[in-house]
Chain A
Amino acid sequence: MTPERVISIAFGASVVASAALVVVYLTGGDAQLEGLLLGVALGGLGFGVVTWATRLLHEDEVTEERPPLGTGEATVEATGQMLKDDEVTRRSALVRLLAGASATLAAALSIPALSLGPRPGQSLFRTRWSAGKRLVDLDGNPVRPDAVQPGAVQTVFPEGEVGAADAQTLLIKVDPERLQLPSGREAWAPEGVVSYSKICTHAGCPVGLYRAESHELLCPCHQSTFDVLTGAEPTFGPADRPLPQLPIEIDDEGYLVAMGDFSAPVGPGFWNLQRDDGEEQLS
């Protein structure tokens, strides 16, 4: 087949596809057909043009001189001299003052960037949990310890704060005999129900997977695992700090209720995290 013929067919296919594209669009559209037809319309044109270039254009190789890029020492020198104009450089005090004033102005103009966000303050150290707040499920109903299913995890929030991201908490029921919580937390797991922050201490993902047979919480983002029985100490993966534990008890009506905020700041680490120890927050 002559190149002219190949190119004509390619261009022809492109025209047909473009026309069909309009028809498909006007009759309701269809993602697959649109992609296919657009592909043919563009591809036919492209193939034709490239075929034209490779088979019909017989160009000779040409050689072009490559003059040196540099313009020579003399020119560089002369330009440098021009920049060092006496009328400018002579007044060095004024030059310095000009530079200083510009820098100060730049600093002043960059200050409004602070409008972008509040100061962190105490917000990273506190959540919405406080003593006496009931644990409620996603529908806002308070939770009884016997309603927590063994072998599963349940997400709870402080009463009236369903959806508060930094307060999301996991409830897990385990055999109380096997719990080895850090000292001082013996009373934090009534009837074997332990509660940990759901936010991974590595990169802040919700620790949503639970391996019941080994009592391990697993973060789906980077595979950090935490041992539920020992206070959610990390056992594998990049997380190095345990999931903070929420101290809970059972109130007069038999519902789970918080005794205070978490044992440590929740979520990913930051430089002054340890400067605010857990004891203080429990007050």
Chain B
Amino acid sequence: MGWLDERLGIASFARKGLRKVFPDHWSFLLGEVALFCFVILVATGTFLTLFYRPDAAEVVYQGPYAPLQGREVSAAYESVMRISFEVRAGLVMRQIHHWAALVFVASVVVHAMRIFFTGAFRKPRELNWVIGVVLLILALGMGFTGYSLPDDLLSGTGLRIAYSVLISVPFIGPYLAFLAFGGEFPTAGIISRLFVLHVMLLPGLIFGLIGAHLAILARQKHAQFATSKSTERNVVGKPFWPGQAFKSVGLLLITGSVLSLMGGLIQINPVWDYGPFDPTVVSAPAQPDWYIGWLEGALRLFPPADVSVFGILIPSPFIPGVVMPGIAFGLMALWPFVEAKLTGDRDEHHLLNRPRDVPFRTGIGVAAFLFFLVLTIAGGNDVMAIMFNVQVEAVTNVLRVAVFVVPALGGLLAHRMSVQLQGPGVGIPRGPVRLRRNPEGGFEEQH
């Protein structure tokens, strides 16, 4: 320590860091889980990168998996097969990587929901909210580019739909699609482009933005729930060292442990079952990874409405595939500013709301969540049709109504419940309750 301090003058800075106060609440750990998933993704991903080949060239499969022996597959697919069957510890690394990706996006989403429902995005934390939304979009991009790399039948279907959405953009769609894919789908060059995005550009951006996210967090200090001690002008909690540091390291290890157990014991993305990509074949039912399900569902539910304006065609994937996600992410990113405008509240806030404290926000949040939930369910309408033994048309028609009705009802219900929970006599009183005897001889709460 002395050696370093004499050269970097680091001791007082380190002491300040070790003393940094962390308010204690389980929901503040959700962001940490996301961070630790990213760490595990980088570690396992580095291992996989050493064996993966981003190459669409056709080779004849001669590995140990008998059903595919002698079949022409891409070098990319062959290398994923080699990782799965021949590279020692390759399969467990691949499966941990895939599970970690699913949990990564899930923890980012749940973390964002915690921030939203507690109003932690309010001034002065708007910037960090916007960075968080960008991180969410990048996480989705990481997931999509990642599961496209094995060049199996399922991932090829995802790419084909992405191409169709891209080409649907008015005026520039064909150019965009040809620039992104290097020509008309399917193209041989797309694999190496996705690879560069997945292992260099996107992780680099995520790395930088996580740094900014944490730096802003440290500068602004944590928000906290209201207690008898906490106010807008202080931070109440435990110092970083040793308790919080131990807990965080423990959480990293436990996250790694759970993902290892899942990666070892629960099969995921068995590309040998799907087979190599073939542009004339598609498996059914085909579902993307869970976090793309809402987009897939939107494409499935949207009515057949190719609009033609002055001979210019607006194909039906454009609205659910480009406009709807654009509005959704735009509104999400701008929400702190929208809410400040609506409420006229421009004050700094460091004390968090409980969801019931702000019924209109909670109602909107619940409605948005249900909207995406119904869309995600719609992404599996064919699976449900098989499960419930009904026509897929019936499932689709029900969901076309549900996607508007369920969020509306759920939002109203959440609003109503929030208002009622604020009322007297419900919930657990915070702090000591003082009772006063009134002139009539009864008791009443003193506030």
Which A residues are within 8 Å of any B CB, using their own CB? 25, 28-29, 31-36, 38-43, 45-50, 52-54, 57, 59, 61-66, 68-69, 113-114, 116-120, 123-124, 155, 163, 165-166, 168, 198, 202-206, 208-209, 220-225, 234, 236-241, 267-275
CB of B137 within 8 A of chain A? no
Do A117 and B178 touch (CB < 8 A)?
Answer: yes
Residues of B with C-beta under 8 A to A49: 246-247, 249-250, 253
Name 28 A/B residue pairs within 8 A (Cβ), A-sorted.
A34-B89, A34-B264, A35-B92, A38-B257, A39-B264, A40-B257, A43-B261, A46-B257, A49-B247, A59-B242, A62-B21, A64-B236, A65-B233, A117-B180, A118-B183, A206-B279, A208-B284, A209-B284, A234-B304, A236-B396, A237-B304, A238-B300, A240-B305, A240-B315, A267-B164, A268-B317, A269-B316, A271-B173
With contact pairs A223-B382, A237-B304 given, residues A50 and B250 touching in the complex (Cβ less than 8 Å)? yes
Please tell me which one of the listed residues A43, A225, A240, A274 contacts residue B311 in the complex, with CB atoms under 8 A apart. A274
Residues of A with C-beta under 8 A to B305: 240
Please tell me which one of the listed residues B186, B252, B261, B280 contacts residue A198 in the complex, with CB atoms under 8 A apart. B280
Name the residue among B96, B171, B179 with the largest chain A CB count within 10 angstroms: B179
Cα distance A36–B58 when bound, in Å?
A: 36
Do A50 and B246 touch (CB < 8 A)?
Answer: yes
Residues of A with C-beta under 8 A to B264: 31-36, 38-39
Please tell me which one of the listed residues B179, B184, B234 contacts residue A166 in the complex, with CB atoms under 8 A apart. B184
Q: Which of B155-163, B203-211, B436-444 contacts A (4 or more CB under 8 A)?
A: B155-163
Do B92 and A38 touch (CB < 8 A)?
Answer: yes
Please tell me which one of the listed residues B21, B164, B170 contacts residue A203 in the complex, with CB atoms under 8 A apart. B164
Q: How would residues 374 to 392 of chain B score, 1 for a CB under 8 Å from any chain A CB and 0 otherwise?
A: 0000000110000000001
Do A271 and B313 touch (CB < 8 A)?
Answer: yes
Cα distance A165–B52 when bound, in Å?
A: 26
A122 CB to nearest B CB, Å: 11
B314 CB to nearest A CB, Å: 7
With contact pairs A49-B249, A117-B181 given, residues A57 and B242 touching in the complex (Cβ less than 8 Å)? yes
A115 CB to nearest B CB, Å: 9
Do B304 and A206 touch (CB < 8 A)?
Answer: no
Please tell me which one of the listed residues A52, A120, A239, A275 contacts residue B175 in the complex, with CB atoms under 8 A apart. A120
Q: Which of B58-99 contact A (CB under 8 A)?
A: 88-89, 91-92, 95-96
Q: Which residue of A lies closest to B21 (CB)?
A: A64
B425 CB to nearest A CB, Å: 30
Q: Which residue of A lies closest to B308 (CB)?
A: A274
Cα distance A263–B393 when bound, in Å?
A: 28
Residues of B with C-beta under 8 A to A123: 183-184
With contact pairs A57-B246, A64-B21 given, residues A204 and B163 touching in the complex (Cβ less than 8 Å)? yes
Please tell me which one of the listed residues B236, B257, B348 contacts residue A69 in the complex, with CB atoms under 8 A apart. B348
Cα distance A209–B376 when bound, in Å?
A: 23
Q: Which residue of B lies closest to A200 (CB)?
A: B164
Do A45 and B234 touch (CB < 8 A)?
Answer: no
Residues of B with C-beta under 8 A to A117: 175, 178-183
Do B174 and A120 touch (CB < 8 A)?
Answer: yes
Do B254 and A204 touch (CB < 8 A)?
Answer: no
Q: Which of B151-204 contact A (CB under 8 A)?
A: 157, 160-161, 163-165, 167-171, 173-175, 177-186
Q: Which residue of A lies closest to B279 (CB)?
A: A165
Please tell me which one of the listed residues B167, B180, B284, B393 contacts residue A270 in the complex, with CB atoms under 8 A apart. B167
A58 CB to nearest B CB, Å: 9
CB of B362 within 8 A of chain A? no
Q: How would residues 133 to 152 of chain B score, 1 for a CB under 8 Å from any chain A CB and 0 otherwise?
A: 00000000000000000000
Cα distance A226–B182 when bound, in Å?
A: 31
Cα distance A118–B174 when bound, in Å?
A: 10
Cα distance A267–B166 when bound, in Å?
A: 13
Residues of A with C-beta under 8 A to B303: 238
Cα distance A135–B265 when bound, in Å?
A: 48
B126 CB to nearest A CB, Å: 12
Please tell me which one of the listed residues A41, A206, A222, A271 contacts residue B280 in the complex, with CB atoms under 8 A apart. A206
Cα distance A50–B242 when bound, in Å?
A: 11
Do A240 and B88 touch (CB < 8 A)?
Answer: no
**Which 9 pairs from chain A and chain B are nearest by CB?**
A35-B264, A269-B315, A46-B253, A220-B284, A43-B257, A268-B164, A50-B250, A53-B246, A39-B261
Residues of A with C-beta under 8 A to B299: 202-203, 222, 238
Q: Which residue of A lies closest to B263 (CB)?
A: A35
Please tell me which one of the listed residues A36, A48, A54, A209 contacts residue B261 in the complex, with CB atoms under 8 A apart. A36
B380 CB to nearest A CB, Å: 11
